[in-house]
Amino acid sequence: MCSDRALIEVRNLTVDYVGEHSVVRAVHGIDFDIMEGEAFGLAGESGCGKSTVAFALARLTRLPGLVSGGQVRLNGEDVLKFNKARLKAYRWNEVSFVFQSAMNALNPVISVAEQIMDVIETHEPSLGSDGARARAVELFELVGIPPARLDDYPHQFSGGMRQRICIAIALALKPKLIIMDEPTTALDVVVQRDIIEQIVELKTELGFSVLFITHDLGLMIEFCDRIGIMYSGELVEVAPAEAILTDPQHPYTRALGNSFPPLTGARVRLEGISGTPPDLRSLPEGCRFAPRCPHAMERCRLEAPELRFYPTSQSEAACHLLN
């Protein structure tokens, strides 16, 4: 169900945060593609820029963030250059978003029905409010919430139900891509599993692509087709999901995998990664991981490695050790 045609192509994407006295480069020229029907994951420590990428893709970068360079192409069109009218159509018809905290993603003082119906009415005015309501009922059934509760307010739902409502809203216009920024982090483990299973089911049924972001590497490997590993604003490795644990190319990916407990098999000693990510206001000359890398060589400190494709492992990685 995942085709070879790229839906989204990200090229040299650069995002800065403009502070009062400094400019912080949160995302530094990254490239990746999301295929049609593919679930693409972005993983990395907090602050590595993965959420920033997600927001930039949806054209939702908020102040003081600034997409200062690069391209995001949707079927060849440059998303960053969309004018107001095109942007309005892009939003939700083509890309929708599920936020980390469903608690804050719904307006507490207006009814859930209105928050689903307004997006339908805006983009498909011909349906009318009855049509929009009928669609809202369908969506509620799709995510397994009794449609009788459509007119309730967000605080009357549990955390898991609210996230389902957010997913229903994300599905309202059958978009091509749904960006999920840590959609289950704020939920407890049992509810987490339910929601993920539901997303998998819906994805099979409706065939949208997903950009999935989470801290939970295990969940990500299970759910995604390919995974990109980010470190300090750069993509260090893009690999098929299962290869992240079994055949990591980049030392950082390996370290990330080692700090993650396997669900089956023998107990192993978990290793953390010593040191902290570099200060984004003044970055090291060469590879950003070099100061923390156990295998760093002279060259690593001088020259930044490029992301390259290695056919033997079917992975892309940016590391001098591989050459």
Partner 1 sequence: MSELTHTPSIALTSRGDKATDTMRAPTQQELMRELGVKPKPGWTSRLPPSVAAFVTNGKGMAGVVILLALVLTAVFAPLLSSYDPGRRAGKPHVQPSYEHVLGTTRMGKDVFTQLVHGARVSLAVGFGAGIFAAMIGLAIGISSGYFGGKVDDILTFFVNVVLVLPGLPLIIVIATMVEQASPMVIGLVLALTGWGWAARTIRTQTLALRTREFVLSAELMGEKKWRIILVEIFPNMLSFVMGGLVLGTIAAILAEAALEFIGLGDPNAVTWGTMLFWAQRNMALQSGAWWEVFPPCLAIMLTGAALVLVNFAVDEITNPQLKASRNIGRIRKFLSRRGRSADVF
Partner 2 sequence: MIYLLRRFAFYVAAFFVALTFNFFIPRLMPGDPSARIIASFQGRLNEAQIDAIRQSYGLTGSLWEQYLTYMGSVFRLDFGISTVQFPEPTASLLFYGATWTLVLVGLAVFFAFIIGSMMGIHAAWNRGGFFDSFFTPINVMMNAFTPAIVALLLFYAFSLQLQWFPLGRAHSTEIMPGFTFLFIGNVLYHATLPVLSIFLVSFGGWHLGMRNVMINLLNEDFVILARAKGLSDRRVRYRYVARNAILPQITALALSIGFLLGGALVTEQVFNYPGLGKFTFTAIGSRDYSFIQGQLLLLTASVLVANMLSDIANVILDPRLRT
Q: Kindly list the residues in this chain that would bind partner 2 in the complex (CB under 8 A).
A: 58, 60, 62, 87-93, 96-97, 99-101, 104-111, 118-119, 122-123, 153, 155-156, 166, 169
To partner 2, the closest distance from the beta carbon of 222 in angstroms equals: 26
Between 50 and 250, CB nearer to partner 2:
50
- The closest of 104, 291, 88 to 182, measured between CA atoms, is 104
Distance from C-alpha of 40 to C-alpha of 267, rounded to nearest angstrom: 29
Q: Report the residue number, 139 or 256, with the smaller CB distance to partner 1.
A: 256
Beta carbons of 251 and 287 less than 8 angstroms apart: no
Q: How far is the CB of 97 from partner 2 (least distance, A)?
A: 5
Q: Which is nearer to partner 2, 104 or 246 (CB)?
A: 104
Alpha-carbon distance values, 7 to 96, 159, 296 (Å): 14, 32, 36
Indicate the residue among 159 and 240 with the shorter CB distance to partner 1.
Answer: 240
Nearer CB in complex with partner 1: 16/182: 16
Least spacing, CB of residue 205 vs partner 1, in Å: 13
Place of tokens 């449609």: 147
Nearer to partner 2, 107 or 246 (CB): 107
Q: Minimum Å distance from CB 163 to partner 2?
A: 12
Long-range contacts of 132-135 (CB under 8 A, 24+ apart): 135/172
Distance, in Å, from the CA atom of 40 to the CA atom of 31, rounded to the nearest integer, reads: 13
Count of all residues that appear for the chain in the document: 323
Nearest CB to partner 2, comparing residues 5 and 86: 86
Q: Which of 212, 218, 160 is nearest to 181 (CA)?
A: 212
What tokens does 262 get? Answer: 């396997």
Give the single-character DSSP code of 278: P
Q: Both tokens of residue 271?
A: 């290793």
Nearest to 53 by CA among 218, 311, 229, 290: 229
Cα 247-27-314 angle, rounded to 5 deg: 25
Give the nearest distance from C-beta 200 to partner 2 in angstroms.
Answer: 23
Least distance CB 125 / partner 2 (angstroms): 11
Among partner 1, partner 2, none, partner that 193 touches (CB below 5 to 8 angstroms by kind): none
Would you tell me which residues interact with partner 1 (CB under 8 A)? 1-2, 4, 6, 9, 11-12, 14, 16, 18-23, 25, 29, 31-33, 39, 59-60, 62-64, 66, 68-71, 80-84, 87, 200, 221-226, 238, 240-242, 281, 308-309, 311, 314, 316
Distance CA 24, CA 301 (A): 21
180 binds, among partner 2, partner 1, none (CB under 5 to 8 A by kind): none
Q: In the complex, what is the shortest distance from the CB of residue 121 to partner 2, in angstroms, rounded to a whole number? A: 9
Strand locations in the chain, DSSP E?
A: 6-18, 23-35, 39-43, 65-74, 77-78, 95-98, 177-181, 209-213, 226-231, 234-240, 308-310, 315-317
Q: Which two tokens stand for residue 124?
A: 């498909």
